[in-house]
């Protein structure tokens, strides 16, 4: 369990988590309103080099942020927020399944409880954020991606890039 005493500390945890991601991961964020889920996503986005401002896809359900060109297979951060989701078909309809768990994406989901069927059988990283008694946030992670382990600030090793394959989904958010 990690304790975060500020918005900035939670963002830093997101950045550290991002440094471990290679593509294909599905990060499920559990926690009540205001627990800091979106804040963690902002840190992840920063860690992945995304310059666009991250806004919660409360109404759009899903935002796709392209990463700056790298040698990695990872090409986009997919941010899903199911808070206003009525049924999982809504996510299917916007093509979420084309992204979730694909090697070219990292998917991070707020309120994953509401899309359990879409996640069934998929390996996920579970992170829970809870309000502590003095305003701090208690953050726990399900597996080796533990936020407790300090990550050296060294660049990750690039994975071989396959020049024959271009990931070019249509749902990508146009830069604003
Ligand atoms: N340690 C902390 N970590 C993260 N946010 C904090 C912390 N302490 C205070 N805050 C504040 O709590 C709020 C967290 O908001 P955030 O949008 O990240 O929550 P959320 O879990 O995404 O909520 P929602 O379920 O509504 O989407 C922000 O206003 C932030 O400034
Ligand atoms: Mg949020």
Which ligand lies nearest the alpha carbon of 13? 1
Domain hosting residue 55, numbered range: 2-97+115-141
**Could you tell me where the beta strands, DSSP code E, fall in the chain?**
2-4, 26-30, 62-66, 76-81, 105-110, 125-131, 137-141
Residue-wise pLDDT for 30-50, tens only, equals: 999 999 999 999 999 999 999
Averaged confidence pLDDT in the chain: 86
Rounded to the nearest 10°, the torsion over CA 30, 83, 118, 131 is 0
* Residue 168 belongs to a domain: no
- How many domains, in total, are found in the chain? 1
6 belongs to a structural domain = yes
Q: Which tens digit of pLDDT belongs to each residue from 99-139?
A: 999 999 999 999 999 999 999 999 999 999 999 999 999 99
User: Does 167 map to a domain?
Assistant: no
Domain assignment present for residue 102? The answer is no
Domain for residue 56, yes or no? yes
CB of 76 within 8 A of CB of 64? yes
Q: Give a yes or no: residue 132 inside a domain.
A: yes
- Is position 20 within any domain? yes
Note the pTM of the prediction, 2 decimals.
0.86
**pLDDT tens column, 151-166:** 444 444 555 555 555 5
Which residue's CA is minimally distant from atom 11 of ligand 1?
7
The answer to whether residue 153 is domain-embedded is no
Looking up residue 44, the CATH number of its domain turns out to be: 3.40.50.300
Task: Give the residue, by CA position, lying nearest to ligand 1 atom 6.
Answer: 7
């Amino acid at each position: 369990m990690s304790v975060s005493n500020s918005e900035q500390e939670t963002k830093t945890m997101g950045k550290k988590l991002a440094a471990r991601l290679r593509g294909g991961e599905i990060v499920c964020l559990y926690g009540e309103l205001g627990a800091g889920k979106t804040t963690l996503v902002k840190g992840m986005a920063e860690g992945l080099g995304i310059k666009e401002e991250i806004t919660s896809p409360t109404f759009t359900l899903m935002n796709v942020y392209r990463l700056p060109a790298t040698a990695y297979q990872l090409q986009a951060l997919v941010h899903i927020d199911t808070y206003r989701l009525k049924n999982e078909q809504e996510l299917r309809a916007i093509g979420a399944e084309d992204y979730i768990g694909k090697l070219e994406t990292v998917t991070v989901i707020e309120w994953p409880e509401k899309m359990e069927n879409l996640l069934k059988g998929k390996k996920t990283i579970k992170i829970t954020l809870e309000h502590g008694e003095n305003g701090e946030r208690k953050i726990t992670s399900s597996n080796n991606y533990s936020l407790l382990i300090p990550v050296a600030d060294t660049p990750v090793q690039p994975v071989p890039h396959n020049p024959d394959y271009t990931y070019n989904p249509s749902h990508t958010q146009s830069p604003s």
